[in-house]
Amino acid sequence: MKRRAPLGVGFVALLVVGALGCGGSDAQVGNDSGVDVAADVVACTGCGAQGCCDGACTDTSSDPSNCGSCGHVCPAGWAPACVMGACGCPDNADEACMDGRLCCPGGCSYIWTDPANCGACGEPCGSEGAPDCVGGACVCWANNDSPCASGLACCSTGCLNLLANTANCGECGRTCPPQQSCVSGECKCGAAACADGETCCSAKCVDLDTNRAACGSCDHPCPANNICVGGSCEPCPTPTVECHGVCVDLGSDAQNCGRCGLACDTGVTCETSTCCTPASICNGVCTNLRTDPAHCGDCATDCSAAGTGPNCVAGSCSGTCGLQARCNGVCTDANTDTYNCGWCGNVCVPGPAPDCVMGYCACAAYSGEPCPSSQTCCSNGCKDLLTDARNCGECGKKCTGLMACTNGTCTCDGATCTGTQICCSNQCVDKNTDPHNCGFCGNQCASGTCADGLCSGTNNCGPGGTPCPSGQTCCPNICCTTCLGGVCMDGSDAGT
């Protein structure tokens, strides 16, 4: 329908002139609205292209109270703005909102279901527990159209705790990998989060491509003298052996000379499984002065020229090897030589039977018998390096602070304690600052403060916070008169 344009000033003036000519100066113009047109003309003089409504210049192309014509008010809900003389919604291409929708910032909105304008324009459903708009109220539709309780988030399956749900960890639909748990909204393996490329196995993050205890999968350990390469177990080629996950030559590796972990001093080379000192270097070559017939006892003695025999036995030239065997021109004791055990070339490798005992590869610390295949021969007997807390990962490596040995690594309920941390009640704590485990597990500081492993305050000493007498201090867990460097000197010469 074509809108009626407002009366222009010129046209109204003509009416006034006609009225004055017919009825005198006090006459009013007759009109349906009862407006005193003469007064409007005087008040609206100078409006230019604008119209005159209620005695005021009015732009009916943009005034929502006089949109298109005087007195035409734009409805506040669905078309509140006046654009080019027509009521509409600015964010809806200036068209009026229809079908019960309201004009909101961003466009037309059905406020009964719109989570961005729920119940009213500009009222978003921002809570994790009530992100949906139903009937103009923020709710969780998966919770029977009711908001979730505090601390719970609305997911497709209902209200969930995203801090501890392994199928929805930190956010809805985020599932933790196998053997990992959801801790404070993060997927963790034990107490740690696995890095990219790592897999959680028995509460420990491992690289299945290189880990001998879990090669390719968590339940696939490599056999003895094998390493893990690309997730597959591969045997070490002769004459190398497996040491700490790599193949090494015990005869020449200065970091593993003769056995795994035995490192030669700086500047000392490893020759024939022996760290070669400068005194045993003959003509630039490391030499075994006890067995080398060309350098027997010292670099200058050659048994072939000494006239006493071609063999070198225990550093002395001899005509025969005696009870020893002759291997590669050298006398050797086949009863003890790990490279010629029982016969020439029979090498005893590290693992269950690294020693040569009476001509057989065995474990000397296990009554001269080989260890079970799953164990390793250490100086104090056969040990399972995957689980033994006193030999964890390698012989002699002890787990401290009540930590357990898991897959060859010292852990505290799956976590690895570092620095000044110790394992107390299956949890890593800092013994230097923890008031419940100050200095050692279970040491409670009555003062509530632990500094450098000592409970603060002279009246809170030792377990339970024993009061110290006047003149004494806590050093570190006993009352003492003279405390030097954390050591009580009472009764010593230094304390008198």
Question: Element (H or E) spanning 360, and its range?
Answer: strand 360-362
Domain extent for 32: 9-73
pLDDT for the residue numbered 136: 92
Question: Which two tokens mark 221?
Answer: 């350990």
392 DSSP 8-state letter: S
Residue 266 domain flag: no
Residue 234 domain flag: no
Q: How many CB atoms lie within 10 A of CB 267?
A: 8
pLDDT for the residue numbered 491: 60
Closest CA to 48 of 92, 8, 93, 100: 8
Closest CA to 342 of 328, 354, 332: 332
SS3 assignment, position 304: helix
Task: Kindly report the pTM of this predicted structure.
Answer: 0.38
Question: What's the total number of domains in the chain?
Answer: 1
Residue 50 domain flag: yes
Q: What are phi and psi of 274, to 5 degrees?
A: -130, 135
Residue 179 domain flag: no
The bridge status of strand 427-430 relative to strand 421-424 is antiparallel
Widest Cα–Cα separation across the chain: 164
pLDDT for the residue numbered 295: 86
pLDDT for the residue numbered 138: 94
SS3 assignment, position 86: strand
DSSP assignment of 261-292, as one string? T-PPPTT-EEETTEEE-GGGEETTEE--TTT-
306, 326 in Cβ contact below 8 A? no
Residue 452 domain flag: no
Residue 339 domain flag: no
pLDDT for the residue numbered 108: 93
344 DSSP 8-state letter: T
pLDDT for the residue numbered 26: 36
96, 82 in Cβ contact below 8 A? no
245, 228 in Cβ contact below 8 A? yes
Q: Distance between CA 149 and CA 169 in Å, rounded? A: 18
pLDDT in tens, the chain (496 residues): 333 333 333 333 323 333 333 333 333 333 344 444 444 445 677 777 788 888 888 999 999 999 999 999 999 888 999 999 999 999 888 888 998 899 999 899 999 999 999 999 999 998 889 999 999 999 999 999 899 998 899 999 899 999 989 899 999 999 988 888 888 898 888 777 888 888 888 778 889 999 888 899 988 888 878 899 999 999 999 888 888 888 999 888 988 888 787 888 887 888 777 788 777 788 877 787 877 888 888 888 888 775 666 878 778 888 777 777 888 877 788 888 888 899 888 998 888 888 998 889 999 888 888 899 889 999 888 999 988 988 988 888 888 767 888 888 888 876 777 778 888 877 788 888 888 888 778 777 776 778 777 776 545 566 555 677 777 777 666 778 876 645 677 764 433 3
pLDDT for the residue numbered 323: 75
292, 330 in Cβ contact below 8 A? yes
Residue 30 domain flag: yes
> 419-455 burial string, b = 16+ CB within 10 Å, else e?
eebbbbeeebbbbbebbebbbebebbbbbeebeebbb
Strand partners, 183: 186
pLDDT for the residue numbered 27: 32
DSSP assignment of 133-197, as one string? EETTEEEBGGGTTBPPPTT-EEETTEEE-TTT-TTSSSSTT-PPPTT-EEETTEEEBTTBPPPTT
